[in-house]
């Protein structure tokens, strides 16, 4: 049961808030420069990444990416969302690191190992 006074987050498709997977996919799109590049890096199909990006944009209520045949660029809200997504994923990676002894691999609920690298200039 949520704590009294805890923030309520609204989302799309029944999601109460952005999912870690969506944030990881979003960060990967930004770092690879395209949805297809992110799909290759993540080992998933390109339509799955596109679907998660549409849901994330609907959940946040703002366009995050400008899509073109040459890749994806961030919108102004996308730049802000990217900074937040990095902090969230870094926090989750830190939490998992703190809870698991050295030499073990911690996996997020999405099944993806969180290994956060910032792009050049990020």
Would you say residue 6 has pLDDT above 60? no
For the chain, give the mean pLDDT. 82
CATH fold of 20-99: Arc Repressor Mutant, subunit A (1.10.10)
50 contacts 35 by C-beta, under 8 angstroms: yes
Give me the residue spans of the domains in the chain.
20-99
| CA nearest to 73, candidates 39, 35, 115, 43 | 35
Dump pLDDT digits (tens) for 91-110.
Answer: 999 998 888 867 766 554 44
Task: Return the closest-CA partner of residue 26 out of 79, 97, 96.
Answer: 79
- Phi and psi, residue 59, nearest 5°: -65, -45
Which of 6-15, 65-74, 99-108 ranks highest by mean pLDDT?
65-74
Please give the pLDDT value at position 42.
97
- The arithmetic mean of pLDDT across residues 56-70, rounded, is 93
């Amino acid at each position: 049961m949520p704590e009294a006074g805890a923030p309520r987050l609204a989302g799309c498709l029944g999601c109460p808030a952005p999912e870690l997977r969506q944030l990881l996919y979003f960060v990967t799109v930004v770092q690879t420069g395209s949805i297809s590049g992110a799909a290759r890096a993540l080992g998933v199909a390109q339509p799955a990444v596109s679907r998660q990006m549409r849901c994330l944009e609907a959940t946040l209520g703002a366009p995050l990416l400008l899509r073109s045949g040459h890749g994806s660029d961030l919108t102004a809200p996308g730049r802000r969302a990217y900074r937040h997504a990095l902090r969230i994923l870094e926090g989750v990676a830190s939490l998992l690191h703190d809870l698991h002894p050295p030499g073990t691999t911690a996996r997020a609920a999405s099944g993806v190992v969180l290994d956060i690298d910032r792009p050049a200039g990020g």
